[in-house]
Structure 1
């Protein structure tokens, strides 16, 4: 099982044959991992506070499946290896079919 915690109390989980997005511990989206099409990962650099000078590095990930919905997640850039592992797991599930 692969799990990535994001901002806004969101989490994405790849558990065997299923990909799921949770918000506040409640399932919002559950899709078969084999229906994965692609993922778009963008690096984002933003200020932590509106007028502060402290910055944070984030990843914005958008997962596409063969049917709606698209699933998005914002997470810390420190989770890059987890994001790459989750994408590899989704690609393996897709390619197994």
Structure 2
């Protein structure tokens, strides 16, 4: 099981043959991992406070599935390896 926490109290969970997105601890989407088609990555940077100079680095991943939903998550850039592990797990489930 791979779990990645993102912004806005969201979480992605890859458990066996299923990918689930949770928001506030409640399931939003549950999709079979074998229907995975691809991932799009985007690096983001935003200010921590409205007029502050300090910025935080984020990564956004959008996962696409056959005939299903797009599943997106924004997380701290440091969590990119964990998100890549989820994408690797989805690709392995697709080819199995």
| Counterpart position of 2:39 | 39
Question: In structure 2, what is the equivalent of residue 75 of structure 1?
Answer: 75
SS of residue matched to 1:53? coil
1:58-88 Cα offsets, whole Å, 9 max, x none, are 0011000002210110000000110111100
Aligned residues: 96
Q: What is the match of residue 5 of structure 2? A: 5
1:46, distance to aligned residue in structure 2 (A): 1.1
Q: Which residue of 1 aligns with 2:19?
A: 19
**Deviation for aligned residue 1:51:** 0.5
Give me the whole-angstrom Cα distance separating, in 1, the residues matched to 2:6 and 2:34. 23
Structure 1 position 49, deviation (Å)? 1.1
User: 1: distance between equivalents of 2:30 and 2:42?
Assistant: 23
Unpaired runs of 5+ in structure 1? none
Cα distance in 2 between the residues matched to 1:32 and 1:52: 42
TM-score, normalising length: structure 2: 0.98
State the distance in 1 between where 2:4 and 2:39 align: 15
Provide runs of 4+ in structure 1 moved above 6 Å. Answer: none
**How well do the aligned residues superpose, as a CA RMSD in angstroms?**
0.6
**Could you tell me how far apart the structure 2 residues matched to 1:3 and 1:49 are?**
28
Using the size of structure 1 for normalisation, the TM-score is 0.97
Q: Structure 2: which 5+ runs fail to align?
A: none
